[in-house]
């Protein structure tokens, strides 16, 4: 494996949820410890499960891993770190400022950025602690900070006064208010991260076109911040020898090979390792040793039992949605779970029932027009260009808020508008222009802003409170935020996969939405192997591991659920999208 050669002291694994960062970090730590090195494994993942992987309690203190001599581990609890961070910032204001202002501060610090920065606050202490490198040869981190977090930490100081004066707009910058006193430590940490002699950054991806596009954007973002020498690991790649003549497995293999052949140029030049898809969940030291083994475990010849209980199809959700005759349908979820496909399928199935439907997306792939435009008389499609929408929004804010600022103030406002939340807010405003159509037709939105951004939109007054001020209390009006919070007008569907990390991330998104006053209407589990009834032994074993996760969603997260099977071919075109909604006959055995 290229990424294991000549390792510097720090190793960071980064990538989207569900690509296998934790498994690779744990397997790397075990492999290094097996060679006699002293290794510390650190998790900053909000959904950390390294304790489960090793079968012992770890928690927020360094403990030895009993089954692996030389290996110790530490789980930073981002939620606890975020609460401590909030208390440090908000605590002094309690009893001094009006209660409404204190609640506003708490809301601004309730989102994902605060959790991310608070976790970074915790592990920068590790990254700048010289004593640790006397105790350990390598420190392996799962997960690395995103380029988003590093970008925030590189912004100029004095944000507190800038934000308090109302010159900053809704952004990710509120959580930075308490960082000034530790900027020297953060500077040292960022310096370590950008030094290839001290740090190796490993980008983890799957052999899927959408995931590779996401990783290419991450690579560009990190390069702009000085992290110019990452390495790429493609995890969970299906081997042709594991297809067993199964048409579904063969189709998956061909799809992955096509994605690899069309890999973005930003990634094609990186050192590359490929880790094969294994038939087992990566729990336990024996399984972890298999992951980076030269001869990984083969699937069991015995067919796994993947008999599923009756599960609702997408068509049942669409039937229920159609009963309203019109309304706003918003699909939300992390990258790579298939939101765009699910949005297109719902739009097509509603239009096929004779309803007027407007499908609007910010997906950069640009395939919906070719597949759908003009295919159904009652379906219209629009696309929002996120880059153009963001530039327009920045120009608008600079022309209004920046008009009365001095040169330094304008420079800081420009920095504020380069925060990662700006694009989501700009795209949401563009979406807002079509939301009003949902009073007379169906409007299907993909991709929605995160729950964190919705909190910012409402709590900081980026749109909603501005309208309240302008319209006055006595006039009747409805803002997009108010419409999203009204279950009679808006149905929010969360899209996920039947895998541990995507389900945990979807549950976190649901909690964020509820804090913003939005109750999700239902969930969609996409690309379900068990529902597709594969014949290949490897896929059958993996399908069996989906069953408890599907049960978890039903029992803990949403009683309204649809399960969509993994398709042999990408569901492009009206016929394929219509077929997604209906039961799939099991493959012949």
Q: Which of 48, 501, 545, 558 is catalytic?
A: 501
DSSP lists the bridge partners of residue 14 as: 203
The radius of gyration computed from the CA coordinates of the chain, to the nearest angstrom, equals: 24
Kind of pairing between the strands at 231-237 and 10-14: unpaired
Residue with tokens 């997604």: 580
d(CA 344, CA 366) in angstroms, rounded, equals 13
Annotation marks residue 146 as catalytic: no
- Is 341 one of the annotated active-site residues of the chain? no
Q: Nearest Cα to 17, choosing from 278, 235, 254, 261? A: 235
Are the C-beta atoms of 312 and 564 separated by less than 8 Å? no
Long-range Cβ contact pairs of 460-465 (< 8 A, separation 24 or more): 460/104, 460/108, 460/169, 460/170, 460/174, 461/170, 462/169, 462/170, 462/425, 463/429, 463/432
Q: Which residues contact 247 (CB under 8 A, 6 or more apart)?
A: 568, 587
Element (H, E) at 204: strand 199-205
DSSP state string for 293-359? -SSPPPPPSSPP--PPPP---HHHHHHHHHTTSSEEEEEE--TTS-HHHHHHHHHHHHHHTT--EEE
461 catalytic per annotation: no
How many C-beta atoms lie closer than 10 Å to residue 564's C-beta?
24
C-beta separation of 87 from 109 below 8 A: no
Set 18, 70, 327, 451: catalytic member: 18
User: Quick one: the chain helix, strand, coil %, rounded to 5?
Assistant: 50, 15, 35
Element (H, E) at 259: helix 247-261
> What is the end-to-end Cα distance of the chain in Å, rounded?
38
- Residue in 21, 334, 339, 401 annotated catalytic: 21
CB-hemisphere CA count at 13 Å for 127? 28
Has 403 been annotated as catalytic? no
Tell me if residue 21 is catalytic: yes
Residues facing residue 525 across a β-bridge:
496, 563
Tell me how far apart the alpha carbons of residues 287 and 297 are, in angstroms, rounded to a whole number: 8
Cα–chain-centroid distance for residue 36? 36
- From 15, 17, 20, 70, the catalytic residue: 20
Catalytic residue among 16, 31, 45, 558: 45
Yes or no: say if 382 and 467 are a contact pair by the CB < 8 Å rule: no
Annotated catalytic residue, options 15, 16, 22, 111: 22
Contact 312, 523 (CB under 8 A): no
Active site residue 23: yes
Rounded CA gap, 505 and 452, in Å?
13
Catalytic one of 14, 23, 362, 500: 23
CA atoms within a 13 Å half-sphere pointing along the CA-CB vector of 251: 13
Residue 184 designated active-site: no
Positions annotated as catalytic residues are 18, 20-23, 45, 501
């Amino acid at each position: 494996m290229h990424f294991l050669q000549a390792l510097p002291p720090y190793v960071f694994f980064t990538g989207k949820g569900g690509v296998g960062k934790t498994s690779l970090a744990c397997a790397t730590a075990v492999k290094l410890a097996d060679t006699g090195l002293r290794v510390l494994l650190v998790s900053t993942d909000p959904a950390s499960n390294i304790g489960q992987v090793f079968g012992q309690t770890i928690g927020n203190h360094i403990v030895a891993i009993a089954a692996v001599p030389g290996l110790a581990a530490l789980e930073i609890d981002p939620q606890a770190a975020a609460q401590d961070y909030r208390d440090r910032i908000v605590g002094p204001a309690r009893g001094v400022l009006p209660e409404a202002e204190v609640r506003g501060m708490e809301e601004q610090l309730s989102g994902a950025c605060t959790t991310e920065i608070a976790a970074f606050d915790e592990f920068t202490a590790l990254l700048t602690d010289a004593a640790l490198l006397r105790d350990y040869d390598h420190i392996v981190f799962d997960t690395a900070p995103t380029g988003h977090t590093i970008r925030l930490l590189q912004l100029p100081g004095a944000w507190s006064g800038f934000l308090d004066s109302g010159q900053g707009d809704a952004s990710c910058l509120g959580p930075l208010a308490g960082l000034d006193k530790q900027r020297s430590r953060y500077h040292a940490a960022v310096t370590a991260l950008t030094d290839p002699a001290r740090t190796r950054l490993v980008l983890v991806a799957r052999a899927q076109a959408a995931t590779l596009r996401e990783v290419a954007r991450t690579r560009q973002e990190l390069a702009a911040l000085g992290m110019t020498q990452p390495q790429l690991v493609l995890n969970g790649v299906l081997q042709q020898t594991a297809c067993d003549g199964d048409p579904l497995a063969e189709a998956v293999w061909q799809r992955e090979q096509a994605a690899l052949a069309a890999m973005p140029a930003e990634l094609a030049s990186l050192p590359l390792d490929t880790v094969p898809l294994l038939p087992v969940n990566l729990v336990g030291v024996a399984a972890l040793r298999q992951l980076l083994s030269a001869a990984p475990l083969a699937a069991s010849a015995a067919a796994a039992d993947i008999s599923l209980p009756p599960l609702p199809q997408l068509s049942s959700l669409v039937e229920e949605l159609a009963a309203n005759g019109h309304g706003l349908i918003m699909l939300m979820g992390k990258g790579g779970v298939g939101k765009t496909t699910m949005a297109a399928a719902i739009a097509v199935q509603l239009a096929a029932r004779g309803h007027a439907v407007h499908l609007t997306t910010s997906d950069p792939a640009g395939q919906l027009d070719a597949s759908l435009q003009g295919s159904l008389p009652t379906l219209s499609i629009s696309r929002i260009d996120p880059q153009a929408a963001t530039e327009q929004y920045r120009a608008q804010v600079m022309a209004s808020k920046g008009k009365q600022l001095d040169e330094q103030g304008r420079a800081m406002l420009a920095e504020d508008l380069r925060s990662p939340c700006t694009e989501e807010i700009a795209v949401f405003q563009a979406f807002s222009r079509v939301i009003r159509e949902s009073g007379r037709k169906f409007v299907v939105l993909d991709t929605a802003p995160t729950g964190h951004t919705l909190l910012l939109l409402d709590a900081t007054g980026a749109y909603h409170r501005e309208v309240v001020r302008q319209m006055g209390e006595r006039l009747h009006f409805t803002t997009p935020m108010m419409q999203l919070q009204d279950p009679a007008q808006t149905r929010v569907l969360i899209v996920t996969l039947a895998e541990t990390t995507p389900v945990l991330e979807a549950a976190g998104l649901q909690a964020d939405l509820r804090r913003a006053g939005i109750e999700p209407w239902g969930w969609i589990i996409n690309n379900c192997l068990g529902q597709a009834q594969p014949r290949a032994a490897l896929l059958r074993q993996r399908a069996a591991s989906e069953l408890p996760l599907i049960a978890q969603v039903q029992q803990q997260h949403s009683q309204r659920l649809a399960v969509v099977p993994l398709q042999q071919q990408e569901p492009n075109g009206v016929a394929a999208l219509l077929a997604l909604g209906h039961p799939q006959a099991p493959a012949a055995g």
